Structure 1
Amino acid sequence: MAAHGATDGILDDLDIAVLLPCYNEAATIADVVAGFKAALPGARIHVYDNNSTDGTALKAALAGATVTRERRQGKGHVVRRMFSDIDADIYIMADGDGTYDPEEAQDLIRTLLSEGSDMVVGTRRGVTEDAGRQGHAFGNAIFNRLYRMIFGTGFSDIFSGYRAFSRRFAKSFPAVSGGFEIETEMSVHASRLKMPVSELELSYGRRPEGSHSKLSTYKDGAKILWMFAMLMKETRPFAFFGLISGGVLAMSLGFMTPVLAEYIATGLVPKLPTWVLSMALMMISFMTFTAGLILDSVARARAEQLRIHYLTLSSVHQSRHQVTLARGEAVSQTTGRSGKRRAA
């Protein structure tokens, strides 16, 4: 399907899908769908309704979107379903709350193609205001800093919901998260497989009157923190278990030191239970460290398997090349038939 003139002709014949996960966004979804239809005339607009009770699905359908219902509550479940259901060359994912500008989808696609990326993140200009909620702004700053400490410096806004993906990203992404922590998992997945990724600073608006955020500062913050821990355990087990091992070893030495000092001074061990506890903690520390070493090898093997699967999927540039070849063959056949008719 062609995106007619969306990006100065370079997107002709590429299949583009706009994916909009929604939960109670009736106040904004019709305008969002209309905005993407105008910005990307050849794209397919898919709205995934996550048990909305305010007529979101009806308004999206009336606006011209294809509406699918996902009954399992949570954005992560919706994203997993979207990536499973939809086949496309390029995927644009945005929220249905009207805070992202549909016209800037063209810039995301241009960046995806020009830089050969598998994911482009639309970092949010003015995100520190976060639609007027300072708690979210503080959480964004803290979690982005924590992400860079644990997983590296590849991303500056891991919670942005405005992204462009290649097909091989979408079809290689396992999506195990259930809620808003799904964006973090996307970033870790790209870093783990060393995918080419890009960032593009885009505008970030406020919700219109009557639209309300579904985020809970403390509840969702705790979920994201837990997801950080789980992703670190899965992707960097040596560092994860090394930290635990170091902490337990420090406790062991803390209990052991006074007992050793008294033994050196008097030759006696009056606090035998403390000594036994310190030795047990030291054994646990060594076992945890060993587990980290073993699981690190397992994690590397899993990453290699994921990388091999990822490389079997065609990139956007390969899809464009195939379209160009098909177009050339069609032109040749048409020219050949025309020549035969003239000769006749």
Structure 2
Amino acid sequence: VPADIHLMADGDDTYPAEAAPRLIQPLLDEQADMVVGTRLRRHSDEAFRPLHVLGNRLVRGLINLIFRCHLTDVMSGYRAYTAELARSVPVTAVGFEVETELTLQSLYYGFVIREVPVDYRPRPEGSRSKLRTFRDGARVLWTIFNIFRSVKPLTFFGSLAILAMLLGVLCALPAIHQYFSLPGHQVKSFPLLFVGVGLVILSFLSAGMGVLLHAMNVRLKEITSLLRKAAGPPAR
């Protein structure tokens, strides 16, 4: 879409249209690349069910932990962002995962996100929400898992490597103990020993994969940054 600023909002009349200028102004002032209308500070009990608040906080906590940020509402459907962000951030999700992926990809590519509190009101009488708490919640968590694996491969595969190494050592300990304590260096726990050795090998493979993918990600971010600079500002 050829526009300097993109404004996104759910079409269920739960977000106040009069708040749009407050979302757009930080973009015009070049203080942010995306401004999110955060709902959790100002919402009615009818608009947000307790389970949805809990799910939002869980997702928010995971994202803040992974990306070391301090966002308060990562699933808000009311946000404004620049044309540069729109053309630079690859979003492939559909449904209720779009907002989460848009936030994650923006954080990964180094875009600045600001939040503006907005009122969040109940849906109009007679309308029905398409949100399915557990199904869509599982999809959002799966999206976070996939993006975390893709954008933080060193952390992801490094954690798997450490876990596999610890389990491998634990499995091999009985065999090692038997080798040094039994007469004739007998080893009776060969199955556990084989499992332990396999886990240790898997640990090294996982660590190597994490290092390789991390190096590829660094190079990809450098290329993306150069392409963004070469493209320049969007045509008006």
Fold in common (TM above 0.5): yes
Unaligned runs of 5+ in 1: 1-85, 320-344
1:308 lines up with 2:226 in the alignment: yes
Contact 1:112 1:198 in 2 (8 A): no
The answer for the alignment partner of 1:228 in structure 2 is 144
Moved more, 299-308 or 281-290: 299-308
Moved more, 100-109 or 246-255: 246-255
Report the secondary structure of 2:37's partner residue. strand
Size of the alignment, in residue pairs?
233
* Identical-pair percentage: 33
Q: In structure 2, what residue type is equivalent to 1:148?
A: N
Give the RMSD, CA atoms, in angstroms: 1.9
CA distance in 1, matches of 2:43, 2:153: 32
CA distance in 2, matches of 1:234, 1:132: 32
The answer for the alignment partner of 1:287 in structure 2 is 205
Contact 2:89 2:109 in 1 (8 A): no
Give the TM-score taking structure 1 as reference length. Answer: 0.64
Q: In structure 1, what residue type is equivalent to 2:204?
A: F
Moved more, 190-199 or 204-213: 190-199
Please state how far the C-alpha of 1:110 moved relative to its aligned partner: 1.2
Judging changes above 3 Å, is the alpha-carbon distance between structure 1 residues 128 and 290 closer, same or farther for their aligned structure 2 residues?
farther
Please state how far the C-alpha of 1:314 moved relative to its aligned partner: 4.4
Please state how far the C-alpha of 1:172 moved relative to its aligned partner: 1.4
Judging changes above 3 Å, is the alpha-carbon distance between structure 1 residues 173 and 130 closer, same or farther for their aligned structure 2 residues?
farther
Q: 2:110 aligns with which of 184, 187, 194?
A: 194
Moved more, 191-200 or 103-112: 191-200
The answer for the alignment partner of 1:151 in structure 2 is 67
The answer for the alignment partner of 1:210 in structure 2 is 126
1:253 lines up with 2:191 in the alignment: no
Matches of residues 312-331 of structure 1 in structure 2 within 5 Å? 312-315=230-233
Q: In structure 2, what residue type is equivalent to 1:268?
A: Q
Please state how far the C-alpha of 1:151 moved relative to its aligned partner: 1.8
Contact 2:42 2:117 in 1 (8 A): no
CA distance in 1, matches of 2:18, 2:47: 20
Judging changes above 3 Å, is the alpha-carbon distance between structure 1 residues 315 and 109 closer, same or farther for their aligned structure 2 residues?
farther
Judging changes above 3 Å, is the alpha-carbon distance between structure 1 residues 180 and 108 closer, same or farther for their aligned structure 2 residues?
same
Q: 2:25 aligns with which of 107, 110, 116?
A: 110
The answer for the alignment partner of 2:88 in structure 1 is 172
CA distance in 2, matches of 1:204, 1:190: 24
The answer for the alignment partner of 1:33 in structure 2 is none
Unaligned runs of 5+ in 2: none
Contact 1:119 1:198 in 2 (8 A): yes
Q: In structure 2, what residue type is equivalent to 1:203?
A: D
CA distance in 1, matches of 2:172, 2:46: 50
Q: Which has the larger radius of gyration?
A: 1
1:237 lines up with 2:153 in the alignment: yes
Report the secondary structure of 2:93's partner residue. coil
Please state how far the C-alpha of 1:256 moved relative to its aligned partner: 1.0
Judging changes above 3 Å, is the alpha-carbon distance between structure 1 residues 291 and 130 closer, same or farther for their aligned structure 2 residues?
farther
Judging changes above 3 Å, is the alpha-carbon distance between structure 1 residues 93 and 176 closer, same or farther for their aligned structure 2 residues?
same
User: With CA pairs under 8 Å and 6+ residues apart, which has the higher RCO, 1 or 2?
Assistant: 2
Give the TM-score taking structure 2 as reference length. Answer: 0.92
Question: Cα deviations across residues 104-146 of structure 1 (Å, max 9, x unaligned)?
Answer: 1011111211243221111113358472422111100111011
Contact 1:192 1:303 in 2 (8 A): no
Question: Cα deviations across residues 283-304 of structure 1 (Å, max 9, x unaligned)?
Answer: 0111111010000001111122
Report the secondary structure of 1:171's partner residue. helix
CA distance in 1, matches of 2:226, 2:31: 18
